[in-house]
Amino acid sequence: MSARWKGVFPAVTTKFKDDFSIDYKAMERHIDGQIQAGVHGIVTTGTLGENASLSAKEKQEVLKIAVSVSAGRVPVLAGVAENTTAGACEVVTDATANGADGFMLLPAMMYPADRRETLEHFRTVGRMSELPIMIYNNPVVYKVDVTPEMFGELAEIESFVALKESSDDPRRITDIYNEVGDRYQIFTGVDNLALESLMLGAVGWVAGLVVAFPRETVAIYDLARAGRYAEALVIYRWFMPMLHLDVSTKLVQNIKLAEVLAGVGTETVRPPRLSLVGEERAHVIRVVESALANRPALPELSGQLS
């Protein structure tokens, strides 16, 4: 398949009203704001989008909003994180009909599949998909590791065009290149390893804190791709205390609170998640307010350098 994804792809949050229903108007504003800020793609219903808290119908409704708002300006990927392979295939079928440009595909949830089972899951979904797919590897959270050798075995599936590497080990990027060359477009999925990953050859960043600070995220990416690492590092160092908030079991609550403090979102999460209280909440407020008080000027960029 011909998709050549690269750049900053926000894993957008799902906006809820106080009664926990989806706030569709807020979703429209959120996604349009990200695109206006210069992001290169959108990922719906990922971990940050509270995939597991959404019904099958709601996942498709969120996707349709993103497709409508994007209107072809950037590709829209639907997150696919289901308990069964059959369930993943069903999401792919429905999302294809609803206008997705591709998918971010996770291993099957709940059950920590072994190597053979993981490969079969990906192959089954990959072979039935009419659209390109980004494979998402996050062994830290999901307890299933898609190794560089496994990516080599999956390279025969035409629909697999990209991968999101979230193993918390930037050496993996070099290992993947050594295993399969440039067969895949490699994205980093760990906010506080993003610049290192871009320097090692990643061509994209599926980002979390971008939803609160999109222009700074895009600036880091564009500067890194242009080889202007010293300038990128200034912004990255400023950003780092907030980027650490993405590497947490409460990343959704952390990032939604950061959105509120940045004036671009709402804090409501669906149970069993609960909004932050006490010292957890105070810590996020301190980190974000300190960053807002010292927000760096962004360098001039002659258009998108990506």
Three-state secondary structure string covering 189-215: CCHHHHHHHHHCCCCEEEECHHHCCHH
pLDDT (average), residues 288-292: 99
Q: Is the pLDDT of residue 1 over 80?
A: no
Q: What's residue 302's pLDDT?
A: 63
Q: Give the DSSP H or E segment for 163.
A: strand 160-165
Least confident residue range of 68-72, 259-263, 301-305? 301-305
Average pLDDT over residues 234-238: 99
Alpha helices in 71-170 (DSSP H): 85-97, 115-128, 139-142, 148-154
Tokens of 39: 């992001």
Q: Residue 303: what pLDDT?
A: 52
Residue 51 has pLDDT above 60, yes or no: yes
Contact between residue 213 and residue 230 where contact means Cβ atoms under 8 Å apart? no
* Burial class for 55, CB neighbours closer than 10 Å (0-12, 13-18, 19+): exposed
In tens, the pLDDT along 181-196 reads: 999 999 999 999 999 9
For residues 204 and 9, the answer to whether their CB atoms sit within 8 Å is yes
* Res 87 pLDDT > 80: yes
User: 0.75 exceeded by the pTM?
Assistant: yes
Q: Per-residue pLDDT for 306 more than 60?
A: no
pLDDT of residue 110: 87
pLDDT in tens, 260-276: 999 998 999 999 999 99
Tokens of 193: 């390893």
7-293, superfamily in CATH?
Answer: Aldolase class I (3.20.20.70)
